[in-house]
Every structure is written in structure tokens, then in C-alpha cells.
């Protein structure tokens, strides 16, 4: 029993380290291997998938060298790579360190599978603890935090994992030798969380199916079911409604509920009879709601998916072997783990590459959820349908742990307008590339620093990511808003967690979003309009947008739509329009804004290059104002916290 507990702990801690590495490696595909959207999506996808295909050889390696040496070696490499990433300077070094950690993690997982027939407790605890830890860190990983706190947390996590790994391998046969009993006699009086798998028969088939679902479960947990960033984004939509999201009042409230539901469903003996279908149906329902691309459905989608995913893992792990004692179960489990992680890679790459290749991606989470549901729902249940569930003390402890996840009540600090409206506003427009700098590091400090030095009143952000797994699952907008101490309004473009935002020191009212025609562009686009209430009845309209040009053309159609929308929304009030417009002064798309009477606020400072950030030769980030406003002091401050430079300008309001 003691060895099984060490095995569960080692698997859970290993999952946490592995997900940490994935959160560095996945965005590295775009920000380091891919170069400013010039690297073909097919090439990036091939690079990503190649490592998962290579890991299919892991069971062969185990067969030749033995499970123990392979597990320990791969586990140590995973731990070292994870620790090294804390010190990585970015660039190619970071990418290859993360790739080494990825491959080591894949081999470790497959090797662990060969000696572990009951993986669900370790997998479930690892996924839940990782989600809770990410929430405690406010969705910013220890890897990116640096400083003594980042190092202390990283060293402690690695030390715990290596201790558990060493303890697990200190006794012969690991945790679950093939053919080991899994019935009540194996767990009686132990309080072991593996009790849902009580059966007098070998657990080979159940183990194979559970390991096959490890990769899909990791994908669905990170994309949907256990994502702290998605929880916060979902609550922010519930605050604002009308297709836009505001600074949330309830922060991460859905996450502890999702984590608790997931744990209890995963670690409790699954029901028999027709009730077995509840988990698969709940998972599919959550995936379908998520695929509808509606912000107000994110919270119910997350909660349904969390409980459904936990129940499906429990079903898959509770299966029995049709031919007990059959040789080869260990290798089949190893291949199942490797194939499951290949499903993870195909799902992750397939979902996000749709924005480059132009096919609909809503079917990806639904298809993966359907796979999980079918594998879990068709698992042959153990011969004994009755059995002891997880002990009450264990269930209570796990639920309490989940509920300790902080419920952040985000404040909405705004400047007082009781003294009357200001005479001028400083506006900053910035394409933040999901928070990743030119070196491929998640650089919130760099972004916040370059913006705050301009002392802005209004900030218009493009390429804002609020939870994409491919970018690490961060809520970049909320993290940046906290550092700038400014509330925000967010509008979706590609999907509910990727789009544009307005941050303001003054109260914002009347938000509206206009989806823009795609006209062949790979990523969706929109225009977000808000009204600044400056006091004494003075109001100024602000529009944030990010135009997406179709291949080989300018964004003329979108520019015309934004210009007309902005002028109509302002209805004669002072107006500011800005963002990454992907057009140069003098281009036809640029002329659409001047056609409606708007003035180039950066004209006096031209030429004013903004892209790429390390060699700004393209003038594609702009601010336009209505004729009654006077612009001065336009700059594009240098920095490499994004692949664009921000533009800043001070606008003097008309006299009252």
C-alpha cells in the first residue's frame, strides 16, 4: 500500500511538471520556431507532431532496457529540464530545453504506464493540483515569474517529485505489477484512493483504457474543464453580457467548483446501469457548449466538462480484463499512453492551426470529448458492481483542498470624475502578441512597463489571449490590467478567449462589438466600441480593433466596416479609433478612415515604424481621432516585449 501511495504521488507530481513544460513548449512553437506568422502552419504542425510520434517508441525502449531505468532516467531529465526553464533566457535555448522536457515527459509517462495499471488517482490528482496551483499563481506559471519566489517554488516542486520517484522505484516491481490483485483485499483498511477499481480480476483492460485517455484528458482539462483562465473569462462575460466581457466581479469562483466536481467524480466508484451514461453525456454537453463560441456559456461548459471528464476517467479505470493474467498488458498500457498523448497533440495543433489554415475548428473539442466518452462508456465494468467508494475523509479532504483555491474578487478601480472632465487623454495602442516577447518568454513586466511609462488614460490592446492552451492558458488581459491598475472591456475575435480590449482609468459605458467580415483572413476580427464617461456630461467614444488582411491584399473591406461603425457609434461625440490596422499610410485601407473624416493622430511623427519590434520599418499600428480633437506627442517607444511597438499620443479634448 505504501508503494502504491508513492506511485500515485509520483504520477501526480510528474503530471504537474509535464504540464508546466507543455506551457512553455506549446507557445514556443509559435513565438520561437514560428517567426511573425511567416513560418508555414504546416511546418509548425509537423515540428510539433514529430516529437509525439517519436515517443511511440518508448514501450520498445522499456522492453529492451527495463521499465525502472527508463522511468527514472526520463523522469530525472523531465525534472532537470523543468528547472532549467526557470533560468532559460528565451530563444532557441528555451525551445530546445522545453523540447527535451517534452520528449522526456512523454517517455516517462509511457514507461510509467507499463508498471501502473491503476493510473486514474494519480492522473486526476495531478490535473486537479495543477489547475489549483495555476489559479494560486493567478494563471502565471512559476517558470515565468523568476526571482526568488519562482526559483523556490520550482525547486520545491522538483524536489518533491524526485523524492516520490525515488521512493516509488525503491521497491521491486513499481506500483502495479501485471496481474496484481485489485479487489477489496488489496485496498481494505488502507484508505487508498484507488478503491474505485476494486475487482477480483486483473485490471489490464481498465488500465489500457485509462492510459489511452490520459492525453485527451490533459487536452480537455487544459482547454476547458480545469482552466483557471477560462473560469475568470467566463465570469467576466456574465458581468457584461451583450457579447463583450468586463472586469469580473467573481474572479475564479467556478474553478474550485469544477476541481471539486472533477475529483469526486474521478475518485468515486462509478455507478452501474443506465447511470453510467451520465458522465459521458455531461462531458459531451460541456464540449458542445464550448464549441458554440459564446462567452456566456463558458462557465456551464466548464462545470459540465469537469464533472463529465472525472466520471469518464473513473469509468475507464474501473474496467476488467477479459482474459485475466494475459501477458503483454504492460506494453499495451505503454502504447496506450503514447497514443493518447498523440491525440493530445493532434487536438491541440488541429484546433489552433485552423486560424492559419482556415477550416472550422469547433469540432475538435467535441471530437476529443466523444472519443473519451466512447472509450469510457464501452469499458466493461468490474465483476463486482458494488464496492466501497472513496473514504469520506478522503473525499472531504480533496474537496476542501479544491475549495482553498482563491476566489478572486476583481476590483474595478476608476479615476474620479467628480472634479470634472480632464482636458486631455493619453492613448496607447498596442498589439501584445498574447503576452510573449521576441525572445519567446511570457513578459508581463515588459508589457506593463512600456505601457505604464506613457502614463496612459486609455489603452487599446490587440491579440489579447485569455486562456488558449497553446499559449500556456494564461489570462493575459487580467494579468496586465492588474499591473496597470485599470479595468477593462474585452470583445472576442477568433473565439471567446482571443480578441481585443480597451482599458481605461475613466468609467466605460455602452460597450458594443461588431464582428468583421473575414474576407479570406485566417483569424476572426472585430471592432470594440466603448464610451468614456469623463464627468459633467462629457463623453468620448473609443474604438479598438485589429484588422486581418486577406492573403496578398489589404484589409480594405474590414477598414471600411470599422470606419463606418465607429462614426455611427460616436454619433457626433469626440472619437478615438486605434489598433493594429495592418495597413500603411497612403494605402487604400488607410484611406477608409480618412474618408469618413477621421484624422491621423500620428501624422506629425511620421515615419513611425512599429513592426517588427527589433527593426520597426512598417507603419501598421495607428490612432485616428475626430476633427475636434488635437493630437500631440506621438511616439512609438522601443521594446521587445511583443513583436510590435506600441504607439502613444496625447489627445486634447474640445473646450467645453
Omega prior to 607 cis, within 30 of 0: yes
pLDDT of residue 328: 67
Q: Are residues 489 and 396 in the same domain?
A: no
CA-based nearest residue to 31, from 437, 562, 554:
437
Q: Are residues 340 and 444 in the same domain?
A: no
Which residues share a beta bridge with 632? 650
> In this structure, is residue 414 part of a structural domain?
no
Q: Range of 565's domain?
A: 424-652
Q: How far apart are CA 124 and CA 392, in angstroms?
A: 17
**598 in Cβ contact with 624 (< 8 Å):** yes
Which residues share a beta bridge with 431? 462
Q: Are residues 481 and 369 in the same domain?
A: no
Give CB contacts under 8 A, 24+ apart, made by 350-356. Answer: 351/223, 351/470, 352/468, 352/470, 353/41, 353/44, 353/45, 355/494, 355/522, 355/523, 355/524, 356/37, 356/41, 356/522
Q: Are residues 460 and 354 in the same domain?
A: no
Q: Are residues 436 and 376 in the same domain?
A: no
Helix (H) or strand (E) holding 284: helix 278-291
Sequence-distant (≥ 6) Cβ neighbours of residue 339 within 8 angstroms: 56, 212, 215
> In this structure, is residue 227 part of a structural domain?
yes
> In this structure, is residue 410 part of a structural domain?
no
Q: Are residues 295 and 178 in the same domain?
A: yes
pLDDT of residue 39: 76
> In this structure, is residue 419 part of a structural domain?
no
State the CATH number of the domain containing residue 525: 3.60.10.10
Written as nine digits, the cell of 644 is 510590435
Q: Are residues 335 and 285 in the same domain?
A: yes
Omega prior to 247 cis, within 30 of 0: no
Q: Are residues 346 and 454 in the same domain?
A: no
One-character DSSP codes across 211-273: HHTHHHHHHHIIIIIT-HHHHHHHHHHHHHBTTBEE--SSTTTHHHHHHHHHHHHHSSPPP-G
> In this structure, is residue 121 part of a structural domain?
yes
Angle CA(531)–CA(535)–CA(539) in degrees, nearest 5?
30
pLDDT of residue 386: 39
> In this structure, is residue 62 part of a structural domain?
yes
pLDDT of residue 196: 37
pLDDT of residue 362: 85
Answer positive or negative: Cα dihedral of 574, 577, 578, 579. positive
Q: Are residues 295 and 364 in the same domain?
A: yes
**Given 370, 403, 436, which residue is the final one in a domain?**
403
Below-50 pLDDT ranges, the chain: 172-204, 321-325, 327, 385-390, 392, 408
Q: Are residues 338 and 369 in the same domain?
A: yes
Q: Are residues 279 and 314 in the same domain?
A: yes
How many Cβ atoms sit within 10 Å of the Cβ of residue 421? 18
Q: What are phi and psi of 286, to 5 degrees?
A: -65, -40
CA-based nearest residue to 458, from 566, 543, 342:
543
Q: Are residues 447 and 322 in the same domain?
A: no
Number of structural domains found in the chain: 2
> In this structure, is residue 411 part of a structural domain?
no
> In this structure, is residue 126 part of a structural domain?
yes
pLDDT of residue 352: 84
State the CATH number of the domain containing residue 146: 1.20.1250
Q: Write the DSSP symbol of residue 550.
A: P
Q: How far apart are CA 578 and CA 556, in angstroms?
A: 16
Sequence-distant (≥ 6) Cβ neighbours of residue 59 within 8 angstroms: 110, 114, 331, 334, 335, 338
Q: Within its chain, how far is the Cα of 48 from the centroid?
A: 17
Written as nine digits, the cell of 575 is 472619437
Amino acid at each position: 500500500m505504501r508503494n502504491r501511495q508513492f506511485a500515485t504521488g509520483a504520477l501526480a507530481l510528474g503530471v504537474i511538471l509535464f504540464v508546466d513544460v507543455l506551457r512553455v513548449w506549446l507557445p514556443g512553437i509559435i513565438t520561437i520556431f514560428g517567426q511573425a506568422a511567416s513560418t508555414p502552419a504546416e511546418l509548425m504542425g509537423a515540428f510539433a507532431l514529430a516529437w509525439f510520434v517519436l515517443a511511440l517508441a518508448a514501450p520498445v525502449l522499456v522492453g529492451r532496457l527495463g521499465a525502472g531505468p527508463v522511468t527514472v532516467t526520463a523522469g530525472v531529465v523531465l525534472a532537470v529540464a523543468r528547472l532549467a526553464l526557470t533560468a532559460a533566457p528565451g530563444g532557441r535555448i528555451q525551445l530546445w530545453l522545453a523540447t527535451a522536457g517534452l520528449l522526456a515527459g512523454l517517455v516517462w509517462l509511457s514507461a510509467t504506464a507499463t508498471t501502473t495499471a491503476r493510473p486514474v488517482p494519480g492522473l486526476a490528482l495531478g490535473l486537479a493540483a495543477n489547475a489549483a496551483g495555476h489559479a494560486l499563481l493567478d494563471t502565471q506559471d512559476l517558470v515565468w515569474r523568476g526571482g526568488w519566489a519562482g526559483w523556490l517554488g520550482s525547486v520545491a516542486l522538483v524536489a518533491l517529485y524526485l523524492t516520490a520517484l525515488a521512493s516509488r522505484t525503491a521497491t521491486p516491481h513499481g506500483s502495479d505489477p501485471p496481474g496484481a490483485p485489485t479487489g477489496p483485499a488489496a485496498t481494505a483498511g488502507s484508505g487508498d484512493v484507488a478503491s474505485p477499481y476494486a475487482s477480483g480480476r486483473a485490471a489490464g483492460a481498465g488500465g489500457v483504457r485509462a492510459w489511452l485517455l490520459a492525453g485527451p484528458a490533459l487536452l480537455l482539462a487544459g482547454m476547458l474543464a480545469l482552466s483557471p483562465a477560462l473560469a475568470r473569462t467566463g465570469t467576466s462575460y456574465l458581468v457584461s453580457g451583450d457579447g463583450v466581457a468586463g472586469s469580473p466581479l467573481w474572479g475564479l469562483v467556478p474553478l474550485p467548483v469544477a476541481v471539486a466536481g472533477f475529483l469526486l467524480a474521478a475518485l468515486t466508484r462509478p455507478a452501474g446501469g443506465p447511470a453510467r451514461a451520465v458522465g459521458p453525456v455531461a462531458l459531451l454537453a460541456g464540449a458542445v457548449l464550448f464549441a458554440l463560441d459564446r462567452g456566456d456559456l463558458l462557465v456551464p461548459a466548464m462545470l459540465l466538462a469537469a464533472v463529465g471528464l472525472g466520471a469518464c476517467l473513473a469509468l475507464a479505470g474501473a474496467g476488467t480484463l477479459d482474459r485475466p493474467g494475459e501477458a503483454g498488458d504492460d506494453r499495451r498500457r505503454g502504447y496506450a499512453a503514447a497514443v493518447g498523448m498523440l491525440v493530445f497533440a493532434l487536438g491541440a495543433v488541429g484546433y489552433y492551426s485552423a486560424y492559419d489554415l482556415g477550416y472550422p475548428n469547433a469540432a475538435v473539442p467535441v471530437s476529443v470529448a466523444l472519443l473519451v466518452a466512447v472509450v469510457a462508456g464501452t469499458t466493461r465494468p468490474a465483476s463486482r458492481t458494488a464496492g466501497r467508494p472513496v473514504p469520506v475523509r478522503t473525499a472531504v479532504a480533496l474537496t476542501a483542498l479544491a475549495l482553498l483555491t482563491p476566489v478572486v474578487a476583481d476590483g474595478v478601480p476608476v479615476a474620479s470624475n467628480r472634479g470634472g472632465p480632464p482636458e486631455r487623454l493619453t492613448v496607447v495602442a498596442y498589439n501584445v502578441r498574447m503576452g510573449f516577447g521576441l525572445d519567446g518568454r511570457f513578459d508581463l513586466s515588459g508589457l506593463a512597463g512600456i505601457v505604464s511609462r506613457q502614463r496612459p488614460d486609455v489603452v487599446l490592446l490587440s491579440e489579447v489571449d485569455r486562456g488558449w492552451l497553446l499559449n500556456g492558458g494564461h489570462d493575459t488581459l487580467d494579468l496586465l490590467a492588474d499591473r496597470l491598475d485599470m479595468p477593462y472591456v474585452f470583445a472576442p475575435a477568433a473565439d471567446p478567449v482571443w480578441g481585443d480590449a480597451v482599458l481605461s482609468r475613466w468609467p466605460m459605458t455602452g460597450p458594443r462589438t461588431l464582428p468583421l467580415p473575414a474576407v479570406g483572413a485566417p483569424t476572426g476580427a472585430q471592432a470594440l466600441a466603448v464610451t468614456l464617461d469623463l464627468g459633467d456630461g462629457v463623453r468620448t467614444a473609443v474604438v479598438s480593433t485589429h484588422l486581418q488582411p486577406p492573403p496578398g491584399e489589404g484589409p480594405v473591406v474590414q477598414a471600411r466596416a470599422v470606419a463606418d461603425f465607429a462614426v455611427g457609434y460616436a454619433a457626433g461625440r469626440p472619437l478615438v479609433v486605434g489598433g493594429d490596422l495592418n495597413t500603411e499610410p497612403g494605402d487604400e485601407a488607410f484611406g477608409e478612415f480618412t474618408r469618413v473624416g477621421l484624422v491621423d493622430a500620428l501624422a506629425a511623427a511620421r515615419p513611425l515604424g512599429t513592426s517588427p519590434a527589433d527593426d520597426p520599418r512598417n507603419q501598421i499600428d495607428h490612432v485616428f481621432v475626430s476633427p475636434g480633437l488635437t493630437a500631440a506627442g506621438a511616439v512609438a517607444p522601443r521594446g521587445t516585449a511583443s513583436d510590435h511597438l506600441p504607439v502613444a499620443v496625447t489627445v486634447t479634448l474640445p473646450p467645453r
